[in-house]
């Protein structure tokens, strides 16, 4: 199914360099946008207004809200610094820093810890309730490529490997594996309704790993979701981001380097919806808290030398009226 019929809106926000991350707030339709142009932006979708544009001293490589507090955000930056933003006043405070570029950031509402990683091969946790945020450090084997925080768990992608840590016991990972058989990973996303994760690889594959705590029947499988045909040849596009729908259980969306965003049924591994191709790569994806809106960042990603550097754009699609025709992907009641 093609999504030409869905309602969509392009945000009229000039963004001067690549978008690194977009994230909807957990209790509102406020959208956080971090960019390589060193600005953190807060867009209010309901009011159709840019609420905040806060300049920084370095390129912003990731961002997140303080989950239950939509008025506070954090960023990871190319100068290694982790910064806290008061989204009402625009005041920016440093939380601390990595010894090299800080690339990934996430907040655990269950532990009140901010989790960061970067090129210094360290995984850090910060207690941001403290006036001087205290950090615990975990040394990793290599630079972190991607990371996702959900509940008590943080899932880290390093090269072709995934490592899952329990924030209550940071000593060693509770799970380590290579879900795509040695292929480098591009993104990792925690499954919000289950203990598990999905990863996207540079060769167009998605792998899902779901742990079933009620029995020993863990579920794990891999499928190619972004092959393209060019001149009669099979071409594989890197999967840049994955986001799970809060509205439709078993549905998730992927975005690739060819500019396609596609909604899938996790159980049947079938394509449900494909959006019209964007002018740039799909760099980041985010559902709002109700699952009725999907934000798509169309931006070059600095991953491929052949990328066309058109101005980055952010689109928001109304997806609650899309007919999910799969027998296994169903709306949550």
Q: What's the pTM?
A: 0.92
Q: What is the 3-state secondary structure (H, E, C) of the chain?
A: CECCCCCEEECCCCCCCCEEEEEECCCCCEEEEEECCCEEEEEECCCCEEEEEEECCCCEEEEEEECCEEEEEEEEECCCEEEEEECCCCCEEEEEECCCCEEEEEEECCCCEEEEEECCCEEEEEECCCCCCEEEEEECCCCCCEEEEECCEEEEEECCEEEEEECCECCCCCEEECCCCCCCEEEEEECCCCEEEEEEECCCEEEEEEECCCCCCCEEEEEECCEEEECCEEEECCEEEEEECCCEECEEEEEECCCCEEEEECCCCEEEEECCCCCCCEEEEEECCCCCEEEEEECCCCCCCCCCCCCCEEEEEECCCCCCCCCCCEECC
Q: What is the CATH number of domain 8-323?
A: 2.130.10.10
Residue-wise pLDDT tens digits, 49-89? 999 999 999 999 999 999 887 899 999 999 999 999 999 99
Residue-wise pLDDT tens digits, 188-215? 999 987 889 999 999 999 999 987 555 4
Q: List the chain domain ranges.
A: 8-323
């Amino acid at each position: 199914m093609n999504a030409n019929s869905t309602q969509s809106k392009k945000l009229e926000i000039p963004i001067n360099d690549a978008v690194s991350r977009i994230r909807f707030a957990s209790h509102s339709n406020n959208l956080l946008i971090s960019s390589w142009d060193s600005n953190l932006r807060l867009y209010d979708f309901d009011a159709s207004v840019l609420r905040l544009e806060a300049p920084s001293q370095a390129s912003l490589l990731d961002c997140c809200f303080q989950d239950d507090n939509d008025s506070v955000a954090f960023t990871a930056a190319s100068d290694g610094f982790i910064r806290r933003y008061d989204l009402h006043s625009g005041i920016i405070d440093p939380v601390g820093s990595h010894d090299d570029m800080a690339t990934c950031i996430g907040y655990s509402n269950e532990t009140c810890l901010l989790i960061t990683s970067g090129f210094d091969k360290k995984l850090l946790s910060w207690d941001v309730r403290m006036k001087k945020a205290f950090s615990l450090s975990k040394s990793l084997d290599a630079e972190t490529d991607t990371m996702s925080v959900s509940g008590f768990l943080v899932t880290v992608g390093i090269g072709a490997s995934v490592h899952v840590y329990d924030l209550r016991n940071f000593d060693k990972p509770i799970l380590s594996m290579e879900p795509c058989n040695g292929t480098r990973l591009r993104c990792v996303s925690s499954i919000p309704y289950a203990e598990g994760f999905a990863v996207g690889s540079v060769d167009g594959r998605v792998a899902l790993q779901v742990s079933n705590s009620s029995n020993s029947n863990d579920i794990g499988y891999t499928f190619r979701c972004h092959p393209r045909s060019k001149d009669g040849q099979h071409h594989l596009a890197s999967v840049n981001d994955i986001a799970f729908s809060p509205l439709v259980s078993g549905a998730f969306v992927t975005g690739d380097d060819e500019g396609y965003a596609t909604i899938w049924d996790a159980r049947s591994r079938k394509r449900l919806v494909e959006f019209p191709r964007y002018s740039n790569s799909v760099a980041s994806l985010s559902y709002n808290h109700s699952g009725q809106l999907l934000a798509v960042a169309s931006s070059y990603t600095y991953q491929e030398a052949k990328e066309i550097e058109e101005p980055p754009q952010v689109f928001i699609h109304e997806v609650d009226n899309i007919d999910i025709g799969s027998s296994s992907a169903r709306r949550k009641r």
